[in-house]
């Protein structure tokens, strides 16, 4: 009898538990669901150098970095002044200390090569950002060109509109080097994938691997939260850059007087206090500490609607990770976004909420009124179960698994 051993895949990322965040959830899903079909070795950053054997098909290699910038990470408990101070210090420190992950990069490359020498990897995946995972695999691929390479960009690299100056130049040069050695590029949406394909037609494979929700809905029961006199609107995550709640607060101020017997509560979960709450809304806006993923999902279910805020970008293809969780809990979405981009398209396609353009205050007021009127009439906009099933992270990772089989068996 012939024994068939699973192919060995390396995943190099700076984002993996016990870290938290959207990027961590993506990498955790890659490792978890790919390990059902492959032997997965994750190479990531940790507090100490160690190896954790999750099971016989999933091994995690942690390498410490002693990154000074970690001490300057924002905390939702920080006030606006402290948050802005940390942000400024991170910007200054990043200009002075241009390679804070140098030690981690060196140690991870050594660990990757050592594990490869024991038993070769057929394929390696690196995930941006930061840039170091791609740099590690670029060096590895130079020495081992026979190993297939998938670069998970997630979003844009140098074309990201929030990147400027020297950083943009550095990323453009790195992207061009990657394009000469990589076999496949992934991103979270088709517009971003198409942009990479247009720039680098020499690369063999391009694939959209969306994010998604990652909890079990088999035992899901519809959570009724309706109160006679209170609407609860939830927002889960952070505000940064141009993504701020001021537009929503302004719209709320404009509509609340039309509903004098109704209290509208806004629950902000895991949000940094880097914005101003209008004085008339102080009693309506409730700040909550960050919650673990499944706890956050449970809290989303108790909301009457969940809020999505995303400023308009020059580039198209911006899905915020929380949209998939919002859809999966089947509560209406109040989407203040680019009304011509993918988040708006998905919300409309699934008839799952109310969409207004980020730069159109009148539309924002209008959708809030529409939501409140529908809520009062007992109407609930929500995606269907069959629509939601297509958005599970496992579905996206299965798509990635098919690509990996194609690449290593050709």
Cβ neighbours of 316 (radius 10 Å): 16
* Alpha-carbon dihedral sign for residues 178, 179, 185, 190: positive
Name the percent of the chain lying above pLDDT 90.
77
Query: How confident is the model at residue 385, as a pLDDT?
Result: 94
Model confidence over 96-152: pLDDT tens digits?
556 789 999 999 999 999 999 999 999 999 999 999 999 999 999 999 999 999 999
DSSP state of 329: T
Spatial CA neighbour of 363 closest among 323, 391, 395, 335: 335
Per-residue exposure over 79-100, b if at least 16 CB sit within 10 Å of its own CB, e if not? eeeebeebbeeeeeeeeeeeeb
Q: Please report which confidence band the pLDDT of residue 2 belongs to, taking 50, 70 and 90 as the band edges.
A: very low
219 burial (CB, 10 Å; 0-12 / 13-18 / 19+) is exposed
Distance CA 352, CA 334 (A): 9
Q: Could you tell me if 150 and 121 are in contact, meaning their C-beta atoms sit under 8 angstroms apart?
A: no
Q: Once rounded to an integer, what is the mean pLDDT over residues 173-181?
A: 97
| pLDDT(86) > 80 | no
Spatial CA neighbour of 218 closest among 29, 397, 394: 394
Q: Once rounded to an integer, what is the mean pLDDT over residues 209-225?
A: 75
Query: How confident is the model at residue 5, as a pLDDT?
Result: 67
Model confidence over 294-343: pLDDT tens digits?
999 999 999 999 999 999 988 899 888 899 999 999 999 999 999 999 99
| pLDDT(165) > 50 | yes
Model confidence over 28-66: pLDDT tens digits?
999 999 999 999 999 999 999 999 999 999 999 999 987
The pTM assigned to this predicted structure is 0.88
Whether the ω angle into residue 248 lies within 30 degrees of 0, i.e. cis, is: no
Distance CA 319, CA 224 (A): 27
- Average pLDDT score over the chain: 90
Q: Please report which confidence band the pLDDT of residue 159 belongs to, taking 50, 70 and 90 as the band edges.
A: confident
| pLDDT(6) > 90 | no
Q: Out of 9-13, 171-175, 221-225, 398-402, which region has the weakest mean confidence (pLDDT)?
A: 221-225
Report in angstroms the alpha-carbon separations of 77 from 72, 82, 254, 270.
13, 10, 29, 9
Spatial CA neighbour of 236 closest among 20, 13, 18, 16: 20
Q: Once rounded to an integer, what is the mean pLDDT over residues 65-75?
A: 60
Q: Once rounded to an integer, what is the mean pLDDT over residues 354-373?
A: 97
User: Residue 335: CB partners within 8 Å, gap ≥ 6?
Assistant: 308, 343, 344, 347, 353, 354, 355, 356
């Amino acid at each position: 009898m012939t024994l068939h051993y699973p192919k060995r895949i390396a995943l190099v990322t700076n984002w993996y538990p016990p870290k938290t965040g959207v990027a961590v959830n993506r990498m955790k899903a890659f490792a978890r669901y790919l390990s059902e079909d492959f032997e997965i070795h994750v190479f990531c950053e940790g507090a100490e150098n160690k190896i954790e054997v999750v099971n016989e098909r999933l091994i995690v290699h942690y390498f410490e970095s002693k990154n000074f910038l970690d001490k300057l990470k924002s905390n939702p408990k920080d006030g606006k002044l402290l948050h802005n101070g940390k942000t400024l210090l991170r910007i200054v420190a990043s200009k002075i200390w241009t390679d804070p992950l140098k030690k981690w990069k060196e140690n991870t490359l050594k660990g990757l090569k050592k594990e490869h020498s024991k038993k070769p990897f057929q394929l390696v995946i690196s995930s941006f950002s930061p840039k170091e995972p791609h740099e590690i695999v670029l060096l590895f691929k130079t020495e081992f060109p026979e190993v297939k390479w998938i670069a998970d960009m997630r979003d844009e690299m140098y074309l990201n509109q929030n990147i400027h100056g020297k950083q943009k130049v550095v990323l453009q040069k790195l992207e061009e080097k990657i394009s000469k050695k990589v076999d496949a590029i992934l991103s979270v949406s088709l517009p971003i994938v198409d942009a990479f394909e247009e720039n680098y037609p020499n690369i063999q494979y391009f694939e959209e691997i969306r994010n998604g929700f990652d909890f079990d809905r088999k035992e899901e029961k519809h959570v009724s939260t309706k109160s006679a006199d209170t609407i609860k609107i939830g927002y889960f995550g952070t505000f940064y850059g141009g993504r701020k709640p001021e537009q929503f607060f302004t719209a709320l101020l404009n509509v609340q007087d039309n509903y004098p017997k109704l209290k509208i509560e806004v629950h902000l979960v895991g949000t940094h206090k880097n914005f101003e709450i209008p004085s008339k809304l102080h009693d309506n806006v409730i700040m909550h500490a960050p919650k673990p993923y499944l706890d956050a999902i449970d809290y989303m279910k108790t909301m009457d609607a969940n809020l999505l805020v995303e400023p308009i970008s020059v580039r198209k293809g911006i899905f915020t990770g929380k949209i998939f969780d919002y859809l999966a809990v089947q509560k209406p979405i109040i989407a203040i976004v680019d009304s011509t981009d993918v988040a708006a398209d998905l919300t409309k396609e699934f008839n799952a909420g109310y969409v207004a353009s980020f730069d159109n205050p009148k539309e924002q007021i209008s959708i809030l009124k529409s939501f409140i009127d529908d809520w009062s009439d007992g109407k609930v906009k929500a995606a269907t179960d069959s629509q939601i099933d297509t958005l599970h992270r496992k579905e996206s990772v299965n798509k990635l698994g098919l690509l990996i089989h194609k690449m290593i068996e050709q």
